[in-house]
Amino acid sequence: MLSQESRQKMDLTNGKKRPWYTDRITEYEQHDHKVKRWITIKKNNIQQLAIAELFSFGRCLIIDDDIQSCESDEYIYHEALVHPAMISHGSPSNVLILGGGEGATLREALKYKTVSKATMVDIDDTVIKICRKYMPSMSNGAFEDPRTELVIQDAKQFVSDTREHFDVIISDLSSPVKGGPAYQLYTKEFYRTLKTKLSHHGIFSAQVDSCSPISIRVPVSIYKTLRMVFSEVQLYTCYIPSFDSLWGFILATDDVKNLKINRKEIDRRLSTVVSGNTLFYDGQTHEGMFALPRDIRNRLNKRTRVISIKNPLFIYK
């Protein structure tokens, strides 16, 4: 079902008449984008989808009236999400991606020569279809790669049912919105189940929403919740222009040695185990993303809620 939050926004079915698209950052803040043209608009029983071409950022995927990724800067988000976990592991073979309908997360994971299988689980095949048709550069052939296994299923159910173990699990899910499909995948119950699906040296990577001062409670709460499950959790950030925000990502593992990696070793691994180039990520970028500013470090040290099924967390609330 469409979330109550998305129903309260302007209906995208009228999008072809809208010269401006408004991306709501919080209930008190929004970012307006001049639209060159609306390319496609879809609505199903799961969510509301659109692809628009913006003057500033090119073609972009919009889900429930929120920008998911834009052609001009998606490489920043997807490289930041994928490479720290993959490069820290060193030799990931079996990778699981939760969400990621554009195929760009899959694209980055498949750059690793060590990967023999990458399973991508998405709840809505419509997202995949329209992105493959209208934004093929996002996946860049990843869906046709013989190492790819595409599963159309609820990620929570897949993780619960699978008997496989994964070297890296990457969560590229939409943010936790009340009534939406993803909020239960940000709880300690889900993280405990997910941990049992990681291999002995496995690493979990996730996007955790905006780290701006007015939104920091979301990534901090996710960080605290993961600390209840994993022995080592690290928050890191980078600025995503089309999101107009400093964005948060997290690594979680029980193998602390995995995350003790320096700039020189990162660049060595990139040159030996990765096919093709990275536009954003390298050893120097890695160190910068993990060098958190003082205000965020202070927030991580304060008490906050632990997210659970009975005590869920929602953005904008």
Instruction: Choose between 207 and 2: higher pLDDT.
Output: 207
Tell me how far apart the terminal alpha carbons of the chain are, to the nearest angstrom.
Answer: 19
Neighbouring C-alpha atoms within 13 Å toward the C-beta of 205 = 30
Question: What pLDDT, on a 0 to 100 scale, did the predictor assign at position 316?
Answer: 64
Mean pLDDT of 108-117: 98
Question: What pLDDT, on a 0 to 100 scale, did the predictor assign at position 1?
Answer: 35
| Average pLDDT in the chain | 90
The answer to whether residue 209 is catalytic is: no
Question: What pLDDT, on a 0 to 100 scale, did the predictor assign at position 2?
Answer: 36
Instruction: Give residue 156's pLDDT band: very low, low, confident or very high (50, 70, 90).
Output: very high
Question: What pLDDT, on a 0 to 100 scale, did the predictor assign at position 313?
Answer: 86
User: What is the C-alpha separation between 201 and 167, in angstroms, rounded?
Assistant: 7
Which H helix or E strand runs over 53?
strand 48-54
| Residues 60/51, Cβ–Cβ less than 8 Å | yes
Q: For 230-258, what is each residue's pLDDT tens digit?
A: 999 999 999 999 998 999 999 999 988 88
Instruction: Choose between 313 and 156: higher pLDDT.
Output: 156
Question: What pLDDT, on a 0 to 100 scale, did the predictor assign at position 233?
Answer: 96
If we measure between CA atoms, which residue out of 235, 157, 232, 226 comes closest to residue 188?
Answer: 226
**What are φ and ψ of residue 138, in 5° steps?**
-60, -50
CB neighbours of residue 307 within 10 Å = 26
Q: Which of 172, 209, 267, 295 is catalytic?
A: 172
The three state secondary structure string of 151-162 is EECCHHHHHHHC
Mean pLDDT of 121-145: 95
Over pLDDT 90: what percentage of the chain?
A: 74
Q: Inter-axis angle of helices 263-273 and 74-89, to 10 degrees? A: 100
Q: For 272-291, what is each residue's pLDDT tens digit?
A: 999 989 999 999 999 999 99
- For residue 15, pLDDT over 60 is answered with no
| Residues 60/38, Cβ–Cβ less than 8 Å | no
Question: What pLDDT, on a 0 to 100 scale, did the predictor assign at position 60?
Answer: 96
- For residue 14, pLDDT over 60 is answered with no
Question: What pLDDT, on a 0 to 100 scale, did the predictor assign at position 175?
Answer: 81
Among the listed ranges 7-11, 26-30, 68-72, which one has the minimum average pLDDT value? 7-11
Q: For 174-208, what is each residue's pLDDT tens digit?
A: 887 777 667 889 999 999 999 999 999 999 999 99
Q: Which of 113-117, 275-279, 313-317 has the highest mean pLDDT?
A: 113-117
CB neighbours of residue 316 within 10 Å = 16
Q: What residue ranges define each of the domains in the chain, with the CATH number in brackets?
A: 4-70 (2.30.140.10), 74-300 (3.40.50.150)
Instruction: Give residue 312's pLDDT band: very low, low, confident or very high (50, 70, 90).
Output: confident
User: What is the C-alpha separation between 143 and 280, in angstroms, rounded?
Assistant: 23
If we measure between CA atoms, which residue out of 2, 99, 98, 6 comes closest to residue 315?
Answer: 6
Neighbouring C-alpha atoms within 13 Å toward the C-beta of 262 = 1
State the residue for tokens 């930041």.
80
- For residue 5, pLDDT over 60 is answered with no
Instruction: Give residue 214's pLDDT band: very low, low, confident or very high (50, 70, 90).
Output: confident
